Chain A
């Protein structure tokens, strides 16, 4: 089973990388960009029997830092 974990910074956490990307976009002449937040996508190939609880635990224990990040799990159809 292919699983995609999307890790994003929590609201209110300053994102220096997102800000730098924002500046770079503006530097390239792209107007109208209000905000940029950078995150991380982690693709997992796991046994079909892997439970949602196990996936949650993987995210909480390692893939995301719950102090600063949120995560979202998407399962490939």
Chain B
């Protein structure tokens, strides 16, 4: 069965093409490009990616408007069916706003936009998205965001840590995120949101390939499922 995926484009998304290229090159199969106004997703999807960018100009709150767009109702239903969903940067913000992931992404603690390569520690190397890494592995992935300061109350943080739902942690403070959390899984493990951009590290020409294993993990996990 061919791997079938969709990359969603919201008005203001700007990493959707990079994401589609990464999915196409690493995952293979068919990559559908889906517009935010579409109420339905293509049939037979294995994987949905919500790209980075500034959907709806970040009006109201980053990801707030996109989370209420027609296509997101379909993404929520797909996630509930168990389809793998990855949200990167603005995509992570959309997933928290849509209630698929706990917490919220607030303005960076230092107020400034942060755009640089950061070191991440792989905290959970057993998830659908991270099985291609080893626990404790340090990888380098770029970030580019203004609102990446992950917040959740202590009870929620304790719970997601205890359940192994922190996929990635910044190896050093980047944006004020609670407990340096960079990527979070949902309870079922089929939804991952992360601020760093793995799709920007899939070939040596981009300065590194540390992002490839994430996409490879998804394919391997779903094909073996």
Contacts and interface: CB of A to CB of B under 8 A. Distances in A.
A65 B98 CA distance: 10
Contact of B97 (A12, A16, A63, A65): A65
Given A65-B104, A67-B96, A13 B60 contact: no
A68 B107 contact: no
B111 interface: yes
Interface residues of B, number: 20
Interface string A41-62: 0000000000000000000011
A67 B103 contact: yes
Nearest to A62: B68
B152 A14 contact: no
A67 B152 CA distance: 7
Contacts of B113: none
A62 B102 CA distance: 16
Nearest to A64: B61
B106 A13 contact: yes
Interface of A: 12-14, 16-17, 20, 61-63, 65, 67-68
Given A16-B176, A63-B60, 10 more contacts: A13-B106, A14-B109, A14-B151, A17-B107, A20-B111, A61-B68, A62-B64, A65-B64, A67-B102, A67-B151
18 contacts: A14-B109, A14-B149, A14-B176, A16-B108, A16-B110, A16-B111, A16-B149, A16-B176, A20-B111, A61-B68, A62-B60, A62-B64, A62-B68, A65-B64, A65-B97, A67-B151, A68-B104, A68-B106
